Chain A
Amino acid sequence: MTNIELNKDVSFQDWQANFEQWAEEAPEGALKRYYQAGMIKSTTPLKDTPLLALDLETTGLDPKTDEIISLGLIPMTHNAIRCQGARYWMAKPKRDLHAESVTIHEITHAELAEAPRLDSILDEILDALIQQVVVVHCVSIERQFLLEASLKRYGYPLYFPVLDTMDIERQVQHKPWWKRFGKPTSLRLDACRQRYHLPRYKAHHALTDALSSAELLQAQIAYHMNLEADISDYWL
């Protein structure tokens, strides 16, 4: 097993301590509750870490102007993804959907027209995130969009610890420059899954993609990660 070492400097060192501080500062409401519930110790072994795979679909790629239109969650551990805990929300955007993103997401205008606004479901989503380490493929998108949503709704930022399957894969696949040749290794979710012989899914449904990254993380754990290692070795 090749255990990867993550570069810790990009990350918050102690999520538990940070949560305590944010719990003081956050305004009353769901976000404060979320921080007050606290975070697991950074010395928690990977095998005991409560994980929650998350994916969201948006109207576009710019967190400032685009909006979240659906969000899927599925709880997991290193050896069990629990369908029973799966959650899925659709949110009606303030602006009209671009025609092209409609085709990507397979969500229709009619479906979205009946969905609630993100503001009114964000409390529920935060409750689901309590004490969980979030699993995503490509951390920047999810983190930035949820940060924007939180600032809009609560006037205070939402931060949460993440295991990023894309970042893990990047490090696993990393080769020194003199060994690189040909096409660079793809880090797309589907390409990563194929390396672990995982089946192909239809992409771009928030819950299916959450499931996809959950399965990918299980495979990465099985091949490259140490179940006994502190979660702080891996989280971002």
Chain B
Amino acid sequence: MDVELTEILEAICQHAPFNDIAEEALLSEMTKEIEIQYVRAGEWVISPGTLNNTLFFIRSGAIEALSRKDKLIRRMNEGELFGYASLLRGGKSSQSMRAIEDSLLYRIPARWFLKLYEENDTFSDFFELAREVRLRLAMDSQSSDVSLMTCPVMSLLRRQPVSTTADSDILTAAQIMTDKRVSSLLITEQDELIGIVTDRDLRTRALAKGLPFDTPISDIMTPDPIVMDSRDYASEAVLKMMERNVHHLPVIKDNRPIGVVSTGDIVQKESHGSVYLISDIFKQSNIEGLQAISRKMTHTFTQLVVADANTQMIGNAMSHIGTAFVKRLLQLAEDQFGKAPVPYCFVALGSQAREEQIIKTDQDNALILSDKYDESLHGEYFEKLSEWVCQNLDKCGYDLCSGDIMASNPRWRQPISVWKQYFTDWIREPKAEALLRLSIFFDLRGIYGDKTLATKLNRHIRAEAKAHSGFLTFMARNANQRKPPLGFFRQFVLDGEGKQSRTFNLKERGIAPIIDIVRVHALAIGSDKLNTLERLEDIEAEGLLPDGRAKDLALALEMIGMVRIRHQKDQIDAGETPNNHVNPANLSSFEKRHLRDAFDIVSRQQEFIKFRYAGKRS
């Protein structure tokens, strides 16, 4: 007789993602393998640090998820699922689960979860989405009060905007600011914002220059300032402040200013996380302070991993932090050595330029100088500046580049015309070996100074590369140098040397090949993007690859990247120095299977570019 547990099946089918799975027969099969467990309020379901091999469905009651430090991460009620994060990772649960009410739980075996996750898009999409929501919640639980991720910028406003008109003189303006105790003043014309003046502007643009008190405020204001929309999130305000290096952002609603957010408002709201770290970097006035912050970076990294941030988010956060160090050091350098005699742009190369930095890496940077540069006059200044910045970056944990690709190397500290010539030579007369070393120059981002210099250089690179297919042939050949560690029978091939004999290098054999492949395509279509995923979007839009292949590469990158950051987090937890050497014996079968698939994708795409950019045989 067919045994149908209708009560259980019906309960499950009422809730997402099961209610979207059309195959009832499949769910009915799954239901038969469920185990039921009653948990009394206050008891553990998953105790701290234990292995989990079950997907839990809350039939009734409520469960809370706690972090390692016993902080509440989220509450879950009837119909919700938990335990999947550790199943996807295949291992220990990073959160512990406790019943806060008497609860009845359905335990669904891991193999059913993994089966549905692989075979059913609706099902897997649900958990992808859940991860984003979880991330937001995890971020919430980290911040003391309100999270910048979820709080609208409007909620940070604490008073009506203080403003005056453009014809006021600077003395009146200063008096208004003093009376109202504000550090910025909005300048309006018929209620519309036309400019902003800050304490600093009054000091540097008026007092220091000895301007008379009756100078109109419009002479010293910043016209058309950068603004936020009232509906924007506070986190966007932070990014804007960092990007533009401003400390006050007027908030606009229906074309009228409704207030100003300052860095102070933001810092008050956020006491943890990468955002805080960045604002802290800009407050340091010496190397010791910056060094102290750099020591917190591993913690920020592990926090992000624990919060299930994906590699893109982590890469983005770590790169922004890295960039903040560079900017602050350059500001300090300029304080010390004086303003630059000619415009220059400090550029990041490689992973930092792609915004894919993981924990600390070597520094790869360069300096583009304006063509007004005259070595006999300005050489000494820029030499001192670069040397000082690179040495101090090293002190902050960004090790000196072993290949000497740094602004401190005079070869990589050149006027833009020389840079253009470098690239023209590399592209028109490519030499495979040299290019192998130079490929990181094709990921180049201006991060401080006159960024138009970097923009111009990038434009030059794109034009040259697109016009010279021979160069792409060389780049494609180089992208085929490093092969994924898969043998003929899909077994993992280990590096087999010395200490690392039981491991393979995920960066060298998985991540770098993908980045190389994508770079070739990006250069071929003249994309101005640097980030690998953004490049892939351009490549997909261009229709360069067969349908779905761009997405495959993105997934492969995420999968391999995820294994890498988890590996590094585990190493940090164990007090080791993080590296890229992964021992497949330490991977779950789930991770192994997906790594194999990812490596397969890499191999196939390497083959593809070999033919796509085959070039002429000589």
Q: B35–A215 contact, CB under 8 A? A: no
Which residues, 504 to 555 on B, are CB-close (under 8 Å) to A?
none
Interface residues of A in 19-54 (CB under 8 A from B): none
Which positions 1-54 of chain B face chain A at CB distance < 8 Å?
Answer: 1, 3-8, 11, 31-40, 43
**How many Å lie between the Cα of A80 and that of B107 in the bound state?**
9
Q: B328 on the interface (CB 8 Å rule)?
A: no
Q: How far is the CA of A196 from the CA of B103 in the complex (A)?
A: 9
- Contacting residues, chain A, for B31 (C-beta < 8 A): 83
Nearest CB on B from A40, distance (A):
22
Residue interface bits A58-97, CB-to-B below 8 A is 1, else 0: 0000000000000000001001111110111110000000
Give the docked Cα–Cα distance between A196 and B101 (Å).
10
- CB of B32 within 8 A of CB of A83, answer yes
Task: For A196, give its contact among B33, B35, B38 (CB under 8 Å).
Answer: B38
Q: In the complex, which residues of chain B have a beta carbon less than 8 angstroms from the beta carbon of A215?
A: 36, 38, 104
Q: Is A135 an interface residue (CB 8 A)?
A: no
- Inter-chain contact A89/B104, CB cutoff 8 Å: no
Q: Is the interface of A mostly helix, strand, loop or mixed?
A: mixed
**Is A219 touching B38 in the complex (CB atoms < 8 A)?**
yes
Q: Is B259 located at the chain interface by the 8 A CB criterion?
A: no
Q: Return B492 CB to nearest CB of chain A, in Å.
A: 35
Q: Once the chains bind, are B3 and A86 in contact (CB under 8 Å)?
A: yes
Report the nearest A residue to B36, measured CB to CB: A81
Q: How large is the interface on B (under 10, 10 to 19, 20 to 34, 35 or more residues)?
A: 20 to 34
Q: Which residues from 191 to 236 on chain A have a C-beta closer than 8 Å to any C-beta of chain B?
A: 196-199, 201-202, 205, 207-208, 211, 214-215, 218-219, 222-223
- Interface contact A199-B5, CB-CB below 8 Å: no
Contact A83 B8 (CB under 8 A): yes
Q: B61–A208 contact, CB under 8 A?
A: no
The CA of A222 and the CA of B99, in the complex, are separated in Å by 13
Q: How far is the CA of A22 from the CA of B5 in the complex (A)?
A: 35
Complex Cα spacing A142 to B190, Å: 87
Are B38 and A207 within 8 A (Cβ)?
Answer: no
Chain A CB within 8 A of B60 CB = yes
Contact status of A202 and B7, CB under 8 A, knowing A79-B37, A83-B32, A83-B34: yes
Q: Which residue of B lies closest to A121 (CB)?
A: B1
Instruction: Tell me, yes or no, whether B320 is within 8 Å of chain A by CB.
Output: no
A146-173 vs B, CB cutoff 8 Å, 1 = contact: the mask equals: 0000000000000000000000000000
How far is it, in angstroms, between the C-alpha of A89 and the C-alpha of B6 when the chains are bound?
Answer: 15
> Could you say which residues of chain A place their CB within 8 Å of the CB of B33?
83-84
State how many residues of chain A have any CB contact under 8 Å with chain B. 28
Contact B40 A80 (CB under 8 A): no
- Taken together as a complex, chains A and B put the C-alpha atoms of A207 and B563 apart, in Å, by 45
Question: Which of A87, A199, A207 sits near B104, CB closer than 8 Å?
Answer: A199
Q: How far is the CA of A209 from the CA of B107 in the complex (A)?
A: 20
Using known A-B contacts A86-B5, A88-B3, A90-B1, determine if residue A80 contacts B102 with beta carbons closer than 8 Å: no
A222 B43 Cβ-Cβ under 8 A: yes
Least distance between B8 CB and chain A CB atoms (Å): 7
Least CB distance from A193 to B in Å reads 10
Least CB distance from B210 to A in Å reads 77
Over the window 586-610 of chain B, the binary record of Cβ atoms lying under 8 Å from chain A Cβ atoms (1 yes, 0 no) is: 0000000000000000000000000
Q: Contacts A197-B60, A199-B104 hold; do A81 and B37 have CB atoms under 8 A apart?
A: yes
With A198-B60, A199-B59 already in contact, the answer to whether A87 and B3 are too (CB < 8 A) is yes
Contact assessment for A89 and B37 in the assembled complex, using a CB-CB cutoff below 8 Å = no
Given known contacts A79-B37, A84-B32, is B7 in contact with A197 (CB within 8 Å)? no
> Are A218 and B38 CB-contacts (below 8 A) given A84-B32, A197-B61, A199-B60?
yes
Bound-state Cα–Cα, A145 to B35, Å: 29
Inter-chain CA distance A87–B107, complex, in Å, is 19
Determine whether the beta carbon of A198 is less than 8 Å from that of B5: no
When the two chains form their complex, are residues B38 and A83 in contact, meaning their CB atoms are under 8 A apart?
no
B41, closest chain A residue (CB): A197
Residue of B35, B39, B107 with highest tally of chain A CB at under 10 A: B35
Question: A227 → chain B, closest Cβ, in Å?
Answer: 13
User: How far is it, in angstroms, between the C-alpha of A149 and the C-alpha of B312 when the chains are bound?
Assistant: 68
Q: Which residues of A sit under 8 angstroms from B36, Cβ to Cβ?
A: 76, 80-81, 83, 211, 214-215, 218
Q: Which residues of A contact B37 (CB under 8 A)?
A: 79-81, 218
Do B7 and A208 have beta carbons less than 8 Å apart?
A: yes
User: Which residue of chain B has the shortest Cβ distance to A80 in the bound complex?
Assistant: B35
* Complex Cα spacing A83 to B104, Å: 14
State whether B101 touches A211 (Cβ < 8 A). Answer: no
Tell whether, in the assembled complex, residue A83 and residue B5 are in contact, meaning their CB atoms are under 8 Å apart. Answer: yes
Which residues from chain A contact B38 at a C-beta distance below 8 Å? Answer: 79, 196, 198, 215, 218-219, 222
Chain B proximity of A220: nearest CB distance (Å) = 9
The answer to whether A197 and B102 touch across the interface, beta carbons within 8 angstroms, is: yes
* CB within 8 Å of A: which B275-289 residues: none
Question: With the chains together, A95 CA to B1 CA distance in Å?
Answer: 22
B531 → chain A closest CB, angstroms:
47
Q: How far is the CB of A210 from chain B (nearest CB, A)?
A: 10
Instruction: List chain B residues, Cβ under 8 A from A199.
Output: 11, 59-60, 104
Bound together, the chains give a CA A84 to CA B106 distance in angstroms of 13
- In whole Å, how far is A203's beta carbon from the nearest beta carbon of chain B? 11
Complex Cα spacing A214 to B101, Å: 19
> How many angstroms between the C-alpha atoms of A199 and B8 in the bound complex?
11
Contact sample, A vs B, 21 pairs, CB 8 Å cutoff = A81-B37, A83-B8, A83-B32, A83-B33, A83-B36, A86-B3, A86-B32, A89-B1, A196-B102, A197-B60, A198-B60, A198-B102, A199-B59, A199-B60, A211-B7, A211-B8, A214-B36, A215-B104, A219-B40, A222-B43, A223-B40
- Beyond A83-B32, A87-B3, A219-B40, 19 additional contacts (C-beta under 8 Å) are A79-B38, A80-B37, A81-B36, A82-B35, A83-B31, A83-B33, A83-B36, A84-B33, A86-B5, A197-B102, A198-B102, A199-B104, A202-B7, A215-B36, A215-B104, A218-B38, A219-B102, A222-B40, A222-B43
Give 4 nearest A-B pairs by CB, closest first: A218-B38, A81-B36, A197-B102, A222-B40
Residues of A within 8 A of B (CB): 76, 79-84, 86-90, 196-199, 201-202, 205, 207-208, 211, 214-215, 218-219, 222-223
